Structure 1
Amino acid sequence: MSAAPVPRTARRQRLARIALVTAAVTVTAATAAACSTSAARTGHTDVSGGASGSGKKIQVVAAENFWGSIASQLGGSRTEVTSIITSPDTDPHDYEPTAGNARTVSGARYVIVNGIGYDAWADKLLATNPGSDRTELKVGDLVGVKPGGNPHRWYSPQDVHQVIERITADYKKIDPAGAAYFDQRKKAFETETLAPYNRLLSGIKSKYAGTPIGASESIVTPLAEGLGLKMRTPETFLNAMNEGSDPTAKDKTTIDRQIKNKQINVYVYNTQNSTPDVQAQVKEARAQGIPVATVTETLTPAGASFQQWQTAQLRGIERGLAKATGK
């Protein structure tokens, strides 16, 4: 079931809220070394208590659960992975870190954040507690996307595979004794676990490359590029929706024309950022007989794995393309 639509605020409002919590986070991080808890942690649980940092397992914290899911599956029994953002109802852009989050990060040996301005609150947590023995992975830096670029790298198949390679390499450096184990986990994950995901990617690309689509925001752009689909929605509109800004009248007119004249074959929208403008486009697309497919910002349902979530969305896009093209 899709999460209820969550309108997104402008980035300047997000940054203002982050600034308000920075002082509290700083105080918490300063005393975090003395705090611990014996509570058990699972791979995709949003932990509000402290991180133990003890034992032989690598304590891993991922800012978002899509990266946490991958990290957990690659790490297996030699890691304990905690994801901070786990609920489909939580917008990672707007998240305000808690004191518990600060303690969790302080006890981590390995931290994964998306970067590119997507989770600036996570940067604040890292900056207030620069652990000397902690390894940090910023996905944006890894894949070479600078601030201002499209932050939704988990929707880029190429970038996902880069992240898999780096996480495995980092695990092997942190835990050399487990190198062979991590190599085996990576091989199984890429060749077996992700097989349905990879088949869908290649199948859609080979069958529907060049097919024009429309979208509600820039979250769809990396996936469209990976599938070889032609994005017709103006980039300025996609970016405005991602930033929480008002789209221009010109862009809305362009999209209305594309839908009315059926210049797109499928419309894809993020159900977690469904504004009145987007809802109007979805309604019009359906009225014109244009198939509508959905994606979400984070794992949906909350307990899903990365591959379950992605393959379900890819199948929805594939069905829409098949219906629209007759292929």
Structure 2
Amino acid sequence: MVLSHRSCRSRSAVHAGQVFLRRTLTLLVLFCLGATAQAQAAIHAVAAESSYGSMIETIGGDHVEVVSLLDSPDVNPHAFRADPQIARQLQDADLVVLNGLGFDGWMEPLLESTQSDKRQVIRASEAGSHLVMADQNPHLFYSPRIMLATASRVASALETLDPQHAADYRANLDAFKQTLAPVYSAVQDLIADHPNLSVTATVPVYSYMIALLGYANRYHDIQFASMDNHQPSARQVATFTKALEQRSVDLLIYNQQVHNRLTESQVATAKQAGIPTVGVSAIPLHGEDYAAWQVRQLDAIHAALDKAEADAKRG
């Protein structure tokens, strides 16, 4: 039987299509196998707070999958309650990073109940123990130096867990160091424009940054009494209120994550007296870079002080 040219062309087209399909399927299979291998090779990290999660993401890059348990400034870390899902995440984690000093105390029993031989646990309070304030202030993430000390331990842990990508982790640690430069720049700008201030806060959340600014941090007793939603004494409240009314300080810092009648009253009193008030948080918004979070809040303080100074000049 003699085939027509059209029939031959049709069979050739079908054959070519089949070859193309087989090659495409092969490529897809190889891609999926590669993606699966990459997913299996990924290091699973859990950060108690997104401040540390952001840092792990910078150092780990594509080699690390990070879950931040507290990742919203709407959550009060002192009132946080863990659930069974968090226990499962910790059980499967290769690396866990937490603050320590009781700030995330709910993590400790979870770590004990989900013991793992392969898991590495890093506490910022241990990494930067030589930099912790004498009063054991637990808000360590407001110290860039403690964050860098913690980052160095994270990089070392990742190198141990994944030696194949050790060079990447070292390079990314250097990159994290560079991200802190704008924080120090914002600090220096603030010191230059508004030096030697006397400040206070509703709770001691910002103390490490206040120390870095070289500002006098006043009324520690009521700050610590108010922490963890404890009730300060009537005498402490009266002294603090009078200081605000008499403008004995140049700035009031309050924690946006603490919502109670006392905090609202303190902020209202400061505003009525003409004292600049700025809200900060213990947790950056999920996905926000650590350094960007710090700079944003420093800029807010700078703007509030600028405005107060301008208002004072206008009389």
TM-score (structure 1 length as normaliser): 0.77
Distance 1:211 1:65, change over 3 A: same
SS of match in other structure, 1:213: strand
Q: Residues of 1 paired with 2:134 and 2:153: CA distance?
A: 20
Greater relative contact order (Cα 8 A, min sep 6): structure 1 or 2?
A: 1
**1:265 matched to 2:250:** yes
Letter of the 1:95 counterpart: F
Q: 1:207 to 1:240 in 2, by over 3 A?
A: same
Aligned residue for 2:150, secondary structure, equals: helix
Alignment partner for residue 198 of structure 1, among 184, 189, 195?
A: 184
Report the alpha carbon displacement of residue 146 of structure 1 after superposing the two structures with TM.
9.3
The answer to whether the 8 A contact 2:46-2:67 is kept is yes
Q: 1:319 aligns with which of 277, 293, 303?
A: 303
Which shows bigger deviation, 249-258 or 263-272?
Answer: 249-258
What RMSD, in angstroms, separates the aligned Cα atoms of the two structures? 2.2
Overall identity of the aligned pairs, in %? 28
Structure 2 residue aligned with 1:97: 82
Aligned partner of 1:60 in structure 2 is 45
Q: Does 1:217 align with 2:203?
A: yes
How far, CA to CA, are the matches of 1:66 and 1:281 in structure 2?
27
2:156 corresponds to which of 143, 153, 169: 169
What is the aligned partner in structure 2 of residue 5 from structure 1? none
Contact 2:71 2:284 in 1 (8 A): yes
Structure 2 residue 217 is matched with structure 1 residue 242? no
Q: CA deviation at 1:54?
A: 6.5
Per-residue CA deviation, residues 267-306 of structure 1 (Å, 9 max, x unaligned), is 1101111321121121111111111111012113x34222
User: What is the CA-CA distance between 1:204 and the residue it aligns to?
Assistant: 2.2
Mapping 1:75-94, distance limit 5 Å: 75-94=60-79
Deviates more, 1:96-105 or 1:168-177: 168-177
2: CA distance, partners of 1:324 / 1:248: 31
Give the Cα–Cα distance (whole angstroms) in 1 for the partners of residues 208 and 49 of structure 2: 18
Q: Highest Rg: 1 or 2? A: 2
The answer to whether the 8 A contact 1:157-1:226 is kept is: no
Q: Write the deviation string for residues 122-175 of structure 1: whole angstroms up to 9, x where unpaired.
A: 111110122111111011122224997211100122212211222112212222
Give SS of 2:136's match: coil
Contact 1:267/1:285 (<8 A) preserved: yes
Counterparts of 1:55 and 1:245 in 2: how far apart (Å)?
46
The change in CA–CA distance for 1:94 and 1:256 in structure 2 (over 3 A counts) is closer
State the distance in 2 between where 1:206 and 1:183 align.
34
- 8 Å contact kept, 2:222–2:240: no
Runs of 5+ in structure 2 lacking a partner?
A: 1-37
Relative to its length, the structure with more helix (as a share) is 2
Aligned residue for 2:100, secondary structure, equals: coil
What is the letter of the counterpart of residue 74 of structure 1?
I
* CA separation of 1:54 and 1:99: change in aligned 2, threshold 3 A: farther
The answer on whether the counterparts of 1:208 and 1:229 sit within 8 Å (CA) in structure 2 is no
User: Offset at 1:207?
Assistant: 4.2
> In the TM superposition, what is the alpha-carbon distance from 1:206 to its structure 2 partner?
4.4
Paired position in structure 1 for 2:282: 297
